[in-house]
Structure 1
Amino acid sequence: MSAYHRLISYIYAYEGGIKGKNTGFAKLETRGNSCRIQVSVRRVFAGGSPIGVYLLAGQEEIRIGTLFVRGGNGEFRAVVNCENIEGSGCNMEECCGLTLHETDSAWRAYTTIWEDAVAHAAEVELADVTAEKVREQEAEKEGATRKLAENVSGEVNSASVGKEK
């Protein structure tokens, strides 16, 4: 039997890079070499231009189709090859999210980033606050505090010896 993987992720509105409200969801179902993608959005501003649907693979956007919006709501469905998405040479494992935006402007976009990609990014960004790193930093502070206390104690002792003379 073929491996089956299902992912559901929320889509948020972004205007000028600022995250807004939840506008829908993306559902991906992978079985064998095909991935069935379903996108459902509401309260979407279409502005008269077609809205492209793109998979995000690193810094690259791979267009997989066009979303049609009526009355602020839109639905999109597609099936893509997991090994070579739309002839791009990228596979589904390289993809970290999905975005929708007008084909001529990405200022207003509707985007979802899958949790695995976010968790990986968080690991990289938060590498300095791992438990081991925190213990190292605390040991360094403790050593510096001990050294400072020794210096102060030595100065106090030498000052009190000087007064006794």
Structure 2
Amino acid sequence: MADYKRLVSYIYAYPGGVRDKNVGFAKAEVRNGQFKLTVSVKGVYTDTPELFGVYVMVDGKKHQPGGFTLLKTGTVMVNQGIGQYQDLFNPMNINQSGYTFEDISGIALARENEDFYRMFSLWEDCILNTEDITFAQPEAAAASNPVVQADSEEVSVKEQVNRTTGQEAERKSAEMSGNVRESETVRRNAEDVSENEVEEAAVTSKPATPESAQSAGRQADLQQETAQMKAQQVRAMEAVQELLFRNTNPQGTMPQNTKLQHTTPQNAKPQEEMPAFEKVFINRDFIDAFEDDYFYDCVEVTPELLKQLPIEDDAVVNNSFLVHGYYNFKHILFGKVCENDNNTRYFIGVPGMYCNRERFMASMFGFCNFKKSHRSDYSNPYFGYWYQEI
């Protein structure tokens, strides 16, 4: 068990480059000549299932203090805040990159083109400068590693010598049989094939191993599964939007209180003269959504119902942010507002999770304020409503 090594460390989110909450753990284990990497995250909330790259952090000494190079080892799908990843590598040459287990300083989960959702797990408690993070693919790392490059050049030279020797022997044999023209054709064809093979050998730095082939197969299956999941989400989103925007029949969406119609006194106002906003609350269950009473009589509605109300600004209900919130949580919150200096009487709340990314999107569509909700059916501490008063 002399070669046995085991490291376990927590994974922390770094939104905006600042260390935030713990979102999981990473475990690295070397046993019997195999490097087993396990990553488990929980609490990484995204609007839809998202694919993150899994990286090992290397070359810490080549950067400014706190900077690292991220070498990709695989991908992990995060769905409803949870993701699991596990893979095996050669501890002396990780993913044919030339880097060993001893070169690793930590683990990272990230996407190259987005700096908000980035998570890091360091083996030692040291400085991490997220602005000095670079991404390198295994192929690029292998090309820059002198040991791997020398091995590939040696293999390429040997292949060229062997092929040249075989071609010479074939040419002499053809000449001895008197088939000079035929041997010349064979020789030229062989030279053409040899040139193509030598070019391919020069491009491929190292022959594929069973481990790399198996890893590539797993990644291909995961990418195909991810593409299928994305396609299903797109189709579902299109179906919901078509239902919301094409269903213009108000019947069935505006319940009528038949009992009240039969018992209303003759001198009372007819049911039809009731304000359209007040009709929303008829025969609906009120939701206890907030700790204070500034917003009260809250009910769950649909975007289609909101479109039928006399709201002066059509952009309030005709925007993709509101539809996106309804698609994720199956409701929009509508309620009354206590007396205030702005003379607003009602509010519209789009459900969501508080984070910088969603705050930016909400503000683009006029929902600049967020109010945390204590609903028991949404126990996440970041859940609440992006709201606008009308």
TM-score normalised per structure 2: 0.29
For residue 45 of structure 1, report the CA deviation from its aligned partner: 3.2
- Give the aligned partner of residue 83 of structure 2: 74
Alpha-carbon distance in structure 2 between the residues aligned to 1:113 and 1:106: 18
- SS of 1:20's equivalent in the other structure is coil
- Give the aligned partner of residue 39 of structure 1: 39
2:122 to 103, 113, 137: 113
For residue 106 of structure 1, report the CA deviation from its aligned partner: 3.3
- Give the aligned partner of residue 55 of structure 1: 56
State the identity as a percent.
Answer: 36
Q: Which amino acid aligns with 2:19?
A: K
- Kept in 1, the 8 Å contact 2:76–2:84? The answer is yes
- Kept in 2, the 8 Å contact 1:51–1:103? The answer is no
Moved more, 106-115 or 88-97: 106-115
Alpha-carbon distance in structure 1 between the residues aligned to 2:47 and 2:94: 28
- Greater C-alpha radius of gyration: 2
Alpha-carbon distance in structure 1 between the residues aligned to 2:126 and 2:13: 17
Q: Which amino acid aligns with 1:111?
A: F
Q: Which amino acid aligns with 2:9?
A: S
**Length, aligned pairs only:** 118
For residue 33 of structure 1, report the CA deviation from its aligned partner: 2.9
- Residues 97 and 70 of structure 1, relative CA distance in 2, 3 Å threshold: same
Please list the CA deviations of residues 24-72 of structure 1 after superposition, one character each: whole Å capped at 9, or x if unmatched. 0001110143210111001113455420000000232110110111211
Alpha-carbon distance in structure 1 between the residues aligned to 2:16 and 2:94: 28
- Kept in 1, the 8 Å contact 2:46–2:80? The answer is no
- Give the aligned partner of residue 28 of structure 2: 28
Alpha-carbon distance in structure 1 between the residues aligned to 2:41 and 2:126: 22
- SS of 1:118's equivalent in the other structure is coil
Q: Which amino acid aligns with 1:70?
A: N
- Residues 109 and 36 of structure 1, relative CA distance in 2, 3 Å threshold: same
- Kept in 1, the 8 Å contact 2:108–2:118? The answer is yes
- Residues 105 and 47 of structure 1, relative CA distance in 2, 3 Å threshold: farther
- SS of 1:36's equivalent in the other structure is strand
Please list the CA deviations of residues 52-97 of structure 1 after superposition, one character each: whole Å capped at 9, or x if unmatched. 0000002321101101112110000011111111121111101100
- Residues 103 and 67 of structure 1, relative CA distance in 2, 3 Å threshold: farther
Alpha-carbon distance in structure 2 between the residues aligned to 1:9 and 1:27: 7
Q: Which has the higher contact order (CA 8 A, sep 6+)?
A: 1
Correspondence 1:1-165 to 2 at 5 A: 1=1, 3-46=3-46, 48=48, 49-58=50-59, 59-115=68-124, 118=126
Q: Which runs of 5+ in 2 are unaligned?
A: 60-67, 128-390
- Give the aligned partner of residue 175 of structure 2: none
- Kept in 2, the 8 Å contact 1:37–1:77? The answer is yes
For residue 103 of structure 1, report the CA deviation from its aligned partner: 4.2
- Give the aligned partner of residue 288 of structure 2: none
Q: Which runs of 5+ in 1 are unaligned?
A: 120-165
- Kept in 1, the 8 Å contact 2:107–2:121? The answer is yes
For residue 107 of structure 1, report the CA deviation from its aligned partner: 3.2
Alpha-carbon distance in structure 1 between the residues aligned to 2:7 and 2:17: 24
- Kept in 1, the 8 Å contact 2:54–2:110? The answer is yes
More helix by share: 2
- Kept in 2, the 8 Å contact 1:64–1:86? The answer is yes
Alpha-carbon distance in structure 1 between the residues aligned to 2:109 and 2:97: 18
Alpha-carbon distance in structure 2 between the residues aligned to 1:101 and 1:66: 10
